[in-house]
Amino acid sequence: MFAIDLAEDAQLKPLEVWHAEEFLAHIDRGREFIGQYVGFPDRATDLESARTLLRTFALKNAEDGPRFFGIWVEGVLRGGVLYPAFDPAGGNCEVGCWLEPAAAGRGLVSAACRELIDYAVTVRGMHRVEWHVCTDNEKSIAVAKRLGFTLEGVMRENYLHRGTRQSTEVWALLGRDWSRD
């Protein structure tokens, strides 16, 4: 397994089925914070459902599709990044993120997303990387801006989350515009 250093005390690693207990504990610590904008905390409510969620992404990863990665700080899972969509044949993917409050404000999400974007563009030849974010999620929007994404539009009230219709901003970065710096 690989690990990429994001900071002196933080690493990015694949999030796999055998991490289910640790993943569930992480989600439990940040369930309401993470769940404000991300749907999977409502799907990972016990150990079996956490395993099922991770297994689903592992199977998609095995088919060269969507995949999960964890962010560990001092050996504790504190967040992650993912490709919710990964289509090598079409040259398009989407990058997303989540973090529990204990790890917020350190630039770890930006660093981890840089790794995912760099891999998608420079190794896999993706033409387009998207970032979908609730219009109310100011922190995630700030990450998209920091990474060089361009706002392309808003899908109004397209996503039903916890009984409320949310609007989604679509940001994109074309591979030719990617600069890791």
Mean pLDDT of 11-20: 97
Partners of 170 in the β-ladder: 132, 153
Q: How far is CA 123 from CA 86, 175, 178, in A?
A: 13, 11, 13
User: Per the structure block, which two tokens stand in for 177?
Assistant: 């515009």
3-state class of 39 per DSSP? coil
Q: Which of 80, 74, 69, 76 is nearest to 34 (CA)?
A: 80
For residue 181, pLDDT over 80 is answered with no
What is the DSSP pairing of strand 92-99 with strand 150-161? unpaired
Mean pLDDT of 120-131: 97
The predicted pLDDT at position 1 comes to: 64
Cβ 157 vs Cβ 167: under 8 Å = yes
Averaged pLDDT score across all residues of the chain: 95
| Distance between first and last Cα of the chain | 26
Task: Specify the pTM.
Answer: 0.94
Mean pLDDT of 35-42: 91
Q: Which of 142, 122, 146, 123 is nearest to 133 (CA)?
A: 142
Mean pLDDT of 44-63: 96
3-state class of 97 per DSSP? strand
3-state class of 63 per DSSP? coil
Question: How far is 171 from 132, CA to CA, in rounded Å?
Answer: 6
CATH topology of domain 4-127: Aminopeptidase (3.40.630)
Lowest mean pLDDT among 8-22, 141-155, 167-181: 167-181
User: Per the structure block, which two tokens stand in for 84?
Assistant: 């919710």
